[in-house]
Structure 1
Amino acid sequence: MILLTPDLRFALRANDISRRAVACFGQPEPDPVPVVKFFNPVGAATWLATELFEDDDTLFGLADLGFGCPELGTFSLSEIASVRLPFGLGIERDIAFASPHPLSTWAEWSRRAGSILGAERLLRRVAANELPPPSHR
């Protein structure tokens, strides 16, 4: 599977360029929605990426390796692509992933739930009006 299509790569680069541009003018950093979701098909690891740096390898976003403490930070596309799993599998891209929620909301709810997958379930319940909406600090 191709982890980043040209369109996804373009959107991730655009977010990085936007963040750097506003930083030059002392503006608050943008809080984009995640562009892409990667996951381990036989484990709990999940990544949500919002930016791709100029080196075309370093991604910024929310990483959850399945230990109960999702973290904002950078991770390597080439390292994710090089992971070899049982049954000849590798890390995959969720081709159906789309979110209206900015990365800060994902981070907040992932920390509350202990995982990105737990946050995804909670945010679906919010969308179905089963839970109150996420707070925006």
Structure 2
Amino acid sequence: MELLTHALRQRLLANGASPGDHVPLVKLFNPLGAATWLITELDVDGDTLFGLADLGFGCPELGSVSLAELVAVRLPLGLGIERDLYFTARHPLSVFAHAARAQGHITEHPDHLAHAAAALARAPAAGRSRSPP
């Protein structure tokens, strides 16, 4: 499976070119493990993705990952990293990061995301950037 279609690449590049707390466009995952990535941006180099990474150790974090490295991962049974074809996000990355830190893993549970969104709405907006609270 192609991890990023041309249309997704274009949308991720547009996000990478504009500052902001973007809604994740892509969810990548290890079909045999706990690793998950929610991706919001692609750098102009065409390889550096930015988003929320959860490698399954209880410490989800914001950061960059190489698309080439994800594509190169070879798992048992001939599998590789996959894209969730049905993923649609309604919250910006800061909400997912806040909920993930509270839960110890990336979560899409509506209650967890609503709680995180409410907590961020109460927090002062000053100083918000790529590093949500």
TM-score, with length taken from structure 1: 0.83
Q: Which residue in the other structure is 1:125 paired with? A: 111
Query: Corresponding residue for 1:89?
Result: 79
List aligned pairs for 1:9-28, cutoff 5 A.
Answer: 9-19=9-19
Query: Which residue of 1 is the match for residue 100 of structure 2?
Result: 110
Q: Quote how far apart the aligned CAs of 1:126 are.
A: 5.7
Q: 1:126 to 1:72 in 2, by over 3 A?
A: closer
CA drift of 1:125 comes to 3.5
Name the residue aligned to 1:32.
Answer: 22
CA distance in 2, matches of 1:11, 1:85: 28
Q: How does 1:13-92 map to 2 (within 5 A)?
A: 13-19=13-19, 30-92=20-82
Q: Percent identity?
A: 57
Aligned residues: 120
> What are structure 1's unaligned runs of at least 5 residues?
20-29
Q: Which amino acid aligns with 1:120?
A: E
Q: Which amino acid aligns with 1:57?
A: D
Structure 2 alignment gaps of length 5 or more: 124-133
Off by >4 Å, runs of 4+ in structure 1: none
In structure 2, give the amino acid aligned to 1:90: G
Counterpart residue number, 1:26:
none
Q: Read off the aligned partner of 1:101 and give its amino acid letter.
A: H
Instruction: Please tell me the root mean square deviation across aligned C-alpha atoms, in Å.
Output: 1.5
